Amino acid sequence: MQDRVILITGATSGIGRATALHCAGLGARVVATARSEERGQVLIEAIEAAGGEAIFVAADVRSDADVKAMVDAALSTYDRLDYAFNNAGTFGPEPAWHEYDDAHWDEVISINLTGVYRCMKYELDAMRTGSAADSRPRAIVNNASTVGHRGSGQSGPAYTAAKHGVIGLTRQAAIAYVKDNIRVNAVSPGPTLTEATAPLLERPAEEVAALLAALNPTGQLVPVEEIARTVAFLCSDAASMINGHSIPIDGGQLALL
């Protein structure tokens, strides 16, 4: 990824942060975006301290203007956009369907599905036209989920529908833009060890073991570094014939179904 430019949404925590650090370590120039300017600067300092190069652009994927501005910032700073990882997402409360609130549905869909569509719209345009266009292959990776392949007893309607939709967007764009030398894939993480899930490991050992065994055959939460490495691989020329797929990173969880 040396000197390639990658834009990462939701880059200041969890999977996004791990991917930003990993790609910077591979020589990529990182355009990191998220809502928190303060956390963004902490990330940039970490990347630069490790010898990497990055800029931060505060952006909310619910805002069309913000998304356009973050892609424009990548082009104005580096004159091109090679890769994008559309990672920003939210969980939120997941009450029973009959208690579900329309406002919550709108919020989750606006971030997890419409936000991905909006990012792809501007990223694809930047990759295929203007100063960003040259002979080098480009790639987009979207963050889906194992619940995008099935239902889940732990997920609600908006999150599950959004992740199914992300996989649909991925497949459609992969078909539509392959002749522009742009590949589009997704990753589908299983339950992942992030700030949100770390408290699970503080429960009694037997309870934790039973919980993790039910999540996937390895009996582990997925490390964020595993997802970061897969994103980098899907962006790289080593994955040149992988297009329109969603790669589960789940320790075999989906294989149990």
> What's the one-letter identity of residue 64?
D
Domain count, the chain: 1
Predicted confidence band at 155 (pLDDT cuts at 50, 70, 90)?
Answer: confident
Percent of the chain's residues with pLDDT above 90: 71
Does 101 score more than 80 pLDDT? yes
Q: Is the pLDDT of residue 62 over 90?
A: yes
**Residue 29: band (very low, low, confident or very high) from pLDDT cuts 50, 70, 90:** very high
The pTM (predicted TM-score) of the whole model is 0.92
Mean pLDDT, rounded, for 225-244: 97
CB 160 within 8 A of CB 147: yes
pLDDT mean over 93-104: 81
Among residues 56, 51, 49, the alpha carbon closest in space to that of 30 is found at 56
The tokens describing 206, both together, are: 């037997």
Q: Which of 78, 83, 122, 159 is catalytic?
A: 159
Position 201 pLDDT exceeds 70: no
Catalytic annotation on 100?
A: no
Please state the rounded mean pLDDT for residues 123-152. Answer: 85
Beta strands at 222-223 and 246-249: parallel, antiparallel or unpaired: unpaired
Asked whether the beta carbons of 16 and 46 are under 8 A apart, the reply is: no
Q: Which of 135, 136, 140 is nearest to 177 (CA)?
A: 140
Residues 139 and 184 sit within 8 Å (Cβ to Cβ) = yes
Instruction: Write down the pLDDT at residue 219.
Output: 78
Bridging pattern class, strands 5-9 and 83-86: parallel
Q: For 10, left (φ over 0), alpha (ψ -120 to 50), or beta?
A: left
User: What was the pLDDT predicted at 134?
Assistant: 64
Q: How far is CA 196 from CA 14, 54, 100, 159, 221, in A?
A: 8, 25, 22, 16, 12
Comparing 139 with 257, which gets the higher pLDDT?
Answer: 139
Going by pLDDT thresholds of 50, 70 and 90, the confidence category of residue 253 is: confident
What's the residue count for the chain? 257
Residue carrying the six token digits 């392949």:
149
Q: Are 231 and 28 in contact (CB under 8 A)?
A: no
pLDDT-based confidence at residue 98 (cuts at 50, 70, 90): confident
Within 37-160, strands assigned E span: 53-58, 83-86, 138-143
Q: How confident is the model at residue 93 (pLDDT cuts 50, 70, 90)?
A: low
Provide mean pLDDT across the span 57-84. 97
Residues 6+ apart with CB under 8 A from 135: 181
Residue 220 structural domain: 5-256
Higher pLDDT among residues 250 and 131, named by residue:
250
The domain that holds 92 is classified in CATH as: 3.40.50.720
